[in-house]
Amino acid sequence: MNKKKNIIFSILFSCLIMLFLPPYRASADAGGELTAGNEKVTVTLTKPQEEPEPIHSLRFWLTVSATEGEMRQPTFTFSETVLQLQQPEGVCSAKVSGQDGTYVMDIILAFKNKRNIFAEDNVVIGTVDLQPSGGMYRVHTAFCAPSADGGQPVMRYINDSDLAVKAVPLTGTTSAVSTNIPDSTGYPDVPGYPVTPGVPGYPVTPDVPQNPTVPDTPQTPDGPSETPDTPQNPDDAAAFQDKTAPKLTASTKNKSSRVSFKWDAVAGADGYQIYRYDAQSKRYTRVKTIALADRTTYSKAMEYATAYKFRVRAFDTSADGTRIYGKFSSYVKVTTAPAKVAKLSVSQQKTGKAVLKWETAQSVEGYQIYRSTKKNGTYTRVKTVKNGNTGKYSEIIRKRGKTYYYKVRAYVTQADGTRRYGSFSNVKKLATR
């Protein structure tokens, strides 16, 4: 009973210092991503760079604004990953303030020590339910600073070692627009296309020019380049279009769904566009527009254990605001790492075998099983299961009366033959008899 009281006290204490104790600025940055869907926006956070300790509590802010149409007060639904951390004790709070279509969401997670929110580099915190009312609507969602502070969006957090609250800027974030209103061409706006929210007091890093352009029509992979806007000077357009296509590279890391892009700069370019191939529609769709001439890198959290094809092109902006597009790069292939293996269990059969079971994941090629005689000791790989649909493994127990520890991770193979591994499952103990 005293242990449970101590845990509850620790969680409440984390909440109180998160609410009232002034933070100090950490030297690292963190990231965030907003993905718009059907009247929902998925909120993903990236672990602060160079933070070695597990993070068990955090706080951040969102602004949600209906720039066209009407909306009721939005709500926030926490992800299953977060809710699992909350059990059996923990606090997940989403306080919403505001009125008349403009709201601020104050999100707080407070768990006991050793409950690491960032078991993966990127974690889905939850979804904003926008609650539009009526017919046509356009709603902007963005990360923001605390209303009292202003300035850059931030995340505050507490790790397992410190009692102090750290604050890190959320860099590279963009807002998301959710709408069912057609644009000037008669085509609906693309959900999730990043825009500047225009909410006073909550600036974000702009992702596209203030005067938006008409979204490009995607093309089939073997078809001609997309038709650019008609420039004022055809000779200028031809000169830019004939420039060498940028050379693109894309890479992934173990335990992460993030894809990192890098490309060569194109002389005279005002920005770049990254496209992803959609196997279902057999077309390339735009992933990102970067309206910065000197920016030649970008990273984005994608789906786990998924193979992708990407390409990039440069664009120049003419005097009248229309865009002139250069040639596409050759496409590159990458595969993201699998997610953390979930629901591992270990049991002993009467036959003297140890039986491991876990939840299988889609698009995974196989699993690796590791064993140790100490929970925090050296683990040895005992088996590679070369079937992603198999979620079971058994082995003969070597010594009765001894305790063994097991963990499992999934893997995929990239186009170049190298493997990408997901995070290990939680460690499970088997005390043999």
pLDDT per residue as tens digits for the range 2-42: 544 454 445 455 555 555 555 656 556 788 888 888 889 99
Q: In the chain, list all ranges with CATH 2.60.40.10.
A: 235-335, 342-432
Distances (CA, A) of 160 to 157, 300, 394: 10, 28, 36
pLDDT (0 to 100) of residue 241: 66
Average pLDDT, the chain: 80
Mean pLDDT of 272-280: 93
Distances (CA, A) of 129 to 34, 133, 282, 380: 13, 12, 31, 45
In CATH terms, is domain 30-180 a member of 2.60.40.680?
yes
Cα dihedral across residues 357, 361, 367, 371: positive or negative: negative
In CATH, the architecture of 342-432 is Sandwich (2.60)
The answer on pLDDT for 210 being more than 90 is no
Q: Which residue has the higher pLDDT, 397 or 152?
A: 397
Mean pLDDT of 377-398: 95
Tokens coding 341 = 């293996």
pLDDT (0 to 100) of residue 238: 61
pLDDT (0 to 100) of residue 132: 87
Percentage of the chain surpassing pLDDT 90?
43
Q: Is residue 232 very low, low, confident or very high in pLDDT (cuts 50, 70, 90)?
A: very low
Based on C-alpha coordinates, what's the Rg of the chain? 24
Class of domain 235-335: mainly beta
Element (H, E) at 246: none
The lowest-confidence range among 56-70, 335-349, 386-400 is 56-70
The neighbouring-strand residues paired with 138 are 68, 179
The answer on pLDDT for 79 being more than 80 is yes
Q: Which residue has the higher pLDDT, 335 or 189?
A: 335
End-to-end CA distance of the chain: 30
Tokens coding 288 = 């990102």
Tokens coding 252 = 């992934």
| SS3 labels along 292-306 | CCCCCEEEEECCCCC
pLDDT (0 to 100) of residue 61: 92
The answer on pLDDT for 427 being more than 90 is yes
pLDDT (0 to 100) of residue 26: 59
Q: In the chain, list all ranges with CATH 2.60.40.680.
A: 30-180
Residue 343, classed as helix, strand or coil, is: strand
pLDDT per residue as tens digits for the range 280-298: 888 999 999 988 888 999 9
